[in-house]
Structure 1
């Protein structure tokens, strides 16, 4: 699991969830929806329960071609790791970054009807014969709790051979057809860290040590150390090098 995937998982599973007597019924309805989609599209549908941190994977012909069972449940993760393992690492990274931006776009704009939107990207599956299969991947948040927390997400995968020139991942308002490009959501990346944390991370990227950073920002070395630790936590990484890599990749610095 890469840093962006860990960040995304912590973001979604760490939400505040409200209890409801109707959760079980709605979960069963959503499971049936995912199963029906996989069968009708001959693709793959993954229902992610961010409250219980569980995923339900339903396979049509595409899934069976890849060696997946008609149905499986991963009780250890709300993310479909068996499917992620079939995607080239750079494309998987792009997919996780796009969903991070998707989530922040919905939150930053105060969108209550999050299920009106979906995230669309083009990925490839590695096949045993060495060829890459183009696949259209969509993520939707299909169940939102009264407080606004995303409870259930639906990821779908279908073969996609007619690839438009210059196709890029995007966010689509399913009610209006409006398309929001990933680049338009980059402005929300900056909300991940505070202004001071961004200053510290920028200086770390330039090779500055804690003492040098303290002098330049007119703060104590202990304060710099605290900011460095907070940065690691917010980016969900274990070392400064990884933090700098994510900061650069997401244009935070």
Structure 2
């Protein structure tokens, strides 16, 4: 499950066809020997990379900023700044009035806007008031309420309060992969957040099993009341990688993972 666009709609990800999106058949049925060679190769590369990263000084280019062939800092390299603290309703707040602060706000807000809490009426009110600029809160809360009706919640196995049936766990966990600033000024910022996520209901009899999704959320932010707030947002599919060969976990394993593993506060 994930928000569809700035109208507040939510869509259900239906199972796709078996064809490979890159033109070939999906990988399956590999021999154990080939898998072993692959694993050994990856381990060797990881060991070499770790050894290289931990190697002591002696490289004058690295000490002086690098030569022409030295790797350049990535656009989303860590800034070294500490993550912001949680604000009201458990939503991160107090973002720096900087370009990096806008990126951090966008990443954290993307997580919140596609969370399981947004489906709970009481939590939704708190989230909307924390995330959005004040003049948009009333209209957006109304649009969310009209989108997440009792009938809609029932169609994905939740009651009118956004809770799963006994013995089941609803999952909606978003993980930002990276951010990109599309526009920036002292008062406004546009940020794209590339995300992956897991969405669905973990339960033995569920008709809405937990699946993965890739999407990009675009947020228009405004500096208001001493913090970055959302003015509007939209979402589109992808970019998505070719599906891997991971064995699907059981409903019990998924439910346990959601309960045992907490989320992150994202910062540049």
TM-score, normalization by structure 2? 0.25
Quick check: which one's helix share is greater? 1
Which structure: larger Rg? 2
Higher relative contact order (CA 8 A, sep 6+): 2
